[in-house]
Structure 1
Amino acid sequence: MDLDDILALAETTPSPLELARARRVARTVQSQHDLSLAEGYQIIVDTDLADPLTWDADEATRVTRAAQLAKQGTVTWLFGDGRPERFERLSWSDEMAMIVGHAPGTLRLTPRALFELVHPADVERVLAASRTAWEQSRPDEIGFRVVQPGGSIRHVYCHLEILTDAGRPVGVIATGEDITALELARQEQRRLAVRSRMLGADPAVRDVLTGLQTRGYVIDEVDRARRTTGGALIVVATEPATRLPDAPLTDEDRDQLTAEIARTLRTVVGDDVTSGLVGSGSWGLLLASRDDAESAETLAARIVDKFRNHLFSVRHKPLRLNTSAGVVHFGNDIPDTGFDLLVDGEHAARDAHRNATAVKVLEQPVAERERTERCRRRIRRAVAANRFALYAQPIIDLGLNQVARHEILLRVRSDTGEPVAPWAFLDMAERVGEILSVDKWVIDHALELIGRGAQTSHYQVNISGKSLADPGLLAFVTEAIHRHHVKPECLTFEITETALIENRNEAVAFATGIREVGCHLALDDFGTGYGALAQLKYLPVDLVKIDGAFIVDLCRSPADQAVVSALVELCHTLGIRVAAEYVQDQETLDLLRAAEVDFAQGYQIGRPEPITVGQEEVQSIELELRLPPQQTAMG
């Protein structure tokens, strides 16, 4: 519609229908007016037919009217003689009063009352913006918070304009609106963006060394299958058929061999089957009932045949594997857990090896009592036969930039006598309640080694959190300290697997007692166990080790960097020193030093080596019995 159309419309005579509608509206308005008067309402003002937005209205009135039309509020501040320190009049519109939570006319507005409505943290910004707008005689805008009478916080956005009279500035008018909903939406968008950037891959899903699923993930998937579809679990056990002629396998050699076995396994089963390293030299594969392309027994036989005939390589020398497999069939909705089925598969694979067969098949899970007793006998035989070895790994003091401690890692000797990583063995010992006997073996032999040394500095001996429930543990440790002539001030006892602490009172009693003896206390795998922060409150902790899950990908993960930084700040505030495990490169070491972490440990510092007593350069030995994270093969 152009101007000609508008003029033509103005010249049009209303139709009888339009006139009738107009008369009907007029009668309705008149009747409502008369009714209001009859009911006692006082009509205080008639409709203002003059448009305040026309040129002859004053500037403040025009701005206020425009704000009303936009459902915004205004605050008008007029200064006497044009000087801010001498205010002449301060007023606000009804809309602005309601924005800040006051009914119109209920608050006597003064400069002090006005700024008391602004959130204390925003007062200086509002004053600075107002001052700048006035001094430079130019409009400005600012967002801030206001505090309503009930304590509620609202977000307000204001446009600041300078009022003038004959070209001379005489005051400021602020046009504001409640943008709380908009600000909350913006905050949520920013939060989601940060969360998306920080959210990383679950380290419990994929093993870094093998590229396959971790032990925990495989167990969880078996748990899910036994509740839904049922299926079959294959456990393949491998170990070197012969020793290398020059020297036994090192941890680095085993990592290389493990990675090659994983690649070979993938060529047989592909990437669609849930599979992963479930123990030292043990591999688990889950076939749900819908996976009927080939039977579990046939697949297990193929894997065994492939591994036995494949020529692996370590240190550029050929190596063959002794391989056997166990298969456990299970239905859905059975009481046995994923861990129970894994143990059954491991035992079946061991039986197959002992009987010189390729595969042993269990048509159903083993009875719970039989399974538990077999696990306990296996652990007790290992303890009685001393089928363990202790390895030392150096720890660097980042403040001194030198090796100041050593951690002693437990190794379990395989059937061939080779020391292997203990995490699956320890997991079993924790679950069947036999970890205390292993702990006592480590404590006794570790303190014996310490007592035979110079004891020139500090030593750390770790104890499983589950063992703290034993009321006789403190007496056993104290007696071992005296029997092996170890200085208690040279010892720190590190609690591992803190999530398994069964009796809080016994844990506190042990921690308090060991401190009274003269030793210190530390927590391992900090940041992943349930209740870890609470333990800092009630346990007299001197040192925490940040779990390796936050360290292995530190250089590439903003989330890990944020967690490490926050944990270091928290611990230092509480007077606790911090150590980081699984440091694998110089870049990670530099980041930890910048974050003010106290100690660092990992392949970048040094690999575990067999212990020799009497190393004068060793200032501290840390003896640790723990479950390392399964995303690496670092012990």
Structure 2
Amino acid sequence: MSITANVQALHAQPQTAERRFSADGVLNSVGEAVYEWNLANDYLDWSTGTSDLLGITDTGMMMTNRNWEALLVPGSVNSRGAALAESEQTDDGTGVPYQIQYALSGGHLRDGQDVWLEDTGRWFANPETGRPARAHGVIRIVTERRKREERVDRMSRFDPLTGLLNRARLTVELDTLFSTLVDDGKPASFILLGLEHFDLVNQVYGFEAGDAVMSEAARRITANLRATDIVGRFSGAKIGVVLPECDDQDMLIAGYRMLNVLRNEPIITDCGSIALTISIGGVSIPQHARECRTAFMAANQALEESRRNRDNVVAVYRPDPERERLRLEAGIMAENIINALREGRIHLVWQPIVDAETGEVAFHEALVRLEEHDGTSIEAGDFVAIAERLGLIRLVDHHALDLALETMKRCSTATFSLNVSNETACDPEWLSKVAHAIHECPDIAKRLIVEITESHAAESDDEARRFINSLADLGCRVALDDFGAGYTSFRTLKALPFDVIKIDGQFAVDLEHSVENQTFIQSLVKLASLYGARTVVEWVEDDETAKMLREWGVDYLQGFAYGRPRKLLPWPIDRPAEEAAVPEIIEEI
């Protein structure tokens, strides 16, 4: 017999608080029970075993719906009675469905724990009034499901480590504040607090200690703020604080209060005491920011100022027209870079590098250019730094590599060097792409020279050595680019096995009259020779400079004296063209 049939059979049987249904045992075993509700007398009739299933100690509380709703957690919005009273549907003779969730208070239950129920039923109208006259339904215990949903909901709003709001929820709260500020005109502030050298804490003490530091920092900050202030974990080592009704002066006071509670007392972990270095930046809203994005950007700029100026560890954002101009230009350039990648307007040009003795072209350097729609060309120096700062350089590097490898496949005599940024030099996908091309066309290896900057070599000997050795294993040569441009260390030449050393062009400027530059180049040439590396001097513009360099033993010369960068391929195309090289990675944009 179906549950519906069982419920219908209730009308012909004597009224009791609980009655046996044929499916009662099955229902109880899966955490369910059925009921019939007569709205005329408010009487509830339940399947047998319902009180035991729910742990209700006073079965009298189950006799009427009024008593049943007294079992609910105080303040409950949802109830069976409210569902029927608020229903706007009309019974066409088949009944009107309803489904609600509510919790029985643990204070009325045997184990003292709240029990969440899903109540699914159907009410039937009095033919004369059209209002509900009776209802029947099924209740299902959904406590565990509710707990899972609450955990998921909490995870969507809170940071699991610190218990603070996560960034998404912090953004919602700040958005809400912005909407009220427009009406009431009161000042407010947003602060970003950065735990400096946090990666070092993780490396030295371990991630568990890092977690302990972050949790304790969050606790201290929260404990020293007003009840109306809102705190959230903005990112890995940054905490964001929303301060309603707080002007510049109040923001400074709050900032230094947070600084003191974090800086004045070390944090105790299982690995020992850890002292924190803190930087804080803040912005007044809506005075200097009228939306979350600009508030985050302004506070982060102030935070960076705090990091640069250790005497002013709480920095307040102040508008700077020049900085704003540069920011807007960077945004325009970033959009231009992305569009150029999509439209194939980033290409390579080729500048010859000649043998110092013979003057013959030894190889070329592949230089990246961004072509505007009007045909003008933007040099790498004018957009690569922005691409690096905005995280776009990896896309540019992969696109340049695809173009370079395609050129080598089509031109069997092409030999050239190609620059790779610091970030991409650590990207295994870039190196894998080189290896795959060499597997398909083995002679590429001896014709490809990869240039890495001196700054990359200076950051990590081990990382640079792994990169150089990987390329050497493939048969490629590696050049150290712009040596002397700012990270000069002769130790680098000893520590890393470079094939070519490219001396920065600034040392070739006015070489005839600069004793310092002469000494630097001569010393470097001798040292490179000692380690078996060839040397290139950039920016060679005249015969007198070339003659001096040649006499000192420089191997190769590069500069406008020997050729400007040109888009036209300097080698014949002697292999069939494949499909145009469009880097798959551009799909990530």
TM-score bracket, shorter-length normalisation: 0.3 to 0.5
TM-score (norm 2): 0.41
TM-score (norm 1): 0.38
Whichever of the two has the greater Rg, that structure is 1
Higher relative contact order (CA 8 A, sep 6+): 1
